[in-house]
Amino acid sequence: MSRRALMTTALASLGAMLALAVFIPGRMVSPGRVMDAHGKVADDCFACHTVFGGAPAAKCMACHKVADIGLRTTDGLVIAGEKKNVAFHQRLVEADCIACHSDHRGVKAFRPISRFSHDLIEAGLRGQCGACHQKPGDALHLRVDANCSQCHTITAWRPATFAHERYFRFNQDHTTACATCHVDNVYAGYTCYGCHEHSRSGIRSEHAEEGIRDYENCVKCHRSGDERDTDRNGRGGEGSGDAGQQERGEERGEERDDD
């Protein structure tokens, strides 16, 4: 076959494929059946797509009004008992539906959650995690009623920046609610004056007897609920916490040797 004949055949085949893709795209380029809710337009590819232009957001929003997402159906009916918190769509920085949603996946209407970018949400809404996410049901989170972003990031749930034992270790006498020490659920700070035994005047007088004036930063010296769990001088520093306990143990050992 001559080069000219080969070129003609190739162009004719390409033209035929393009024509078939335009007139019967469902058979030529469809990656699979659409989700059940889109069954009415399953044979009308151009209801959602444009030729060589993908699926523009404008075509999605022709049926899915942004102002109604999560609140009303596409037929205008009020959504009652919806468990999905999707009303954040009204506060996206841009309309880019296919950044999160997909079709032609059977009953799977959404892309894997790992593909969701919180950058699409307005900056002021990114810290309001509870508006979309359900609070974890473990013992710690049930006590917390605050902004998740104080410990977590929007890039991944783990690792979290919170490690309580780095600051204070609990014991049987310190199993109180988080808000007792973190007033108004502000976890960047704390107070030990939330318990009846820890009044400001009582702590002031007790520390004054030891000649300690810098007593407001409690966890600097006290690493747990055991008042003996301090450094040797009760003023914090290198001897605090576990290190302090080790040093005190070594001292006791030396004293026994001297005896």
What amino acid occupies position 73?
T
Q: Which pLDDT belongs to residue 246?
A: 39
3-state secondary structure of 72: strand
Q: Which pLDDT belongs to residue 61?
A: 92
Higher pLDDT: 122 or 108? It is 122
What is the C-alpha separation between 245 and 241, in angstroms, rounded?
A: 6
Model confidence at 110, in pLDDT bands (50, 70, 90)? low
Q: Which pLDDT belongs to residue 1?
A: 65
What is the C-alpha separation between 111 and 96, in angstroms, rounded?
A: 13
What amino acid occupies position 238?
E
Model confidence at 171, in pLDDT bands (50, 70, 90)? confident
Q: For residue 226, is pLDDT > 60?
A: yes
Contacts of 43 (CB under 8 A, 6+ apart): 26
3-state secondary structure of 22: helix
- Looking at every residue in the chain, the average pLDDT score rounds to 75
> Which of 57, 56, 83 lies closest to 70 in space, CA to CA?
83
| CA terminus-to-terminus distance, the chain | 109
Alpha helices, DSSP H only, in 74-197? 139-143, 178-181
What Å distances lie between residue 56 and 49, 60, 98, 102, CA to CA?
7, 7, 8, 12
Question: Residues 220-242: what's their mean pLDDT?
Answer: 59
Least confident window among 14-28, 59-73, 100-114 = 100-114
What amino acid occupies position 94?
E
Model confidence at 249, in pLDDT bands (50, 70, 90)? very low
Assess contact for 191 and 180: CB atoms under 8 A. Answer: no
What is the tens place of the pLDDT at every residue in 121-138?
Answer: 888 787 778 777 777 877
Model confidence at 35, in pLDDT bands (50, 70, 90)? confident
Question: Residues 109-128: what's their mean pLDDT?
Answer: 71
Contacts of 217 (CB under 8 A, 6+ apart): 236
What is the C-alpha separation between 10 and 153, in angstroms, rounded?
A: 53
Query: What are the extents of the domains in the chain?
Result: 31-131, 139-258
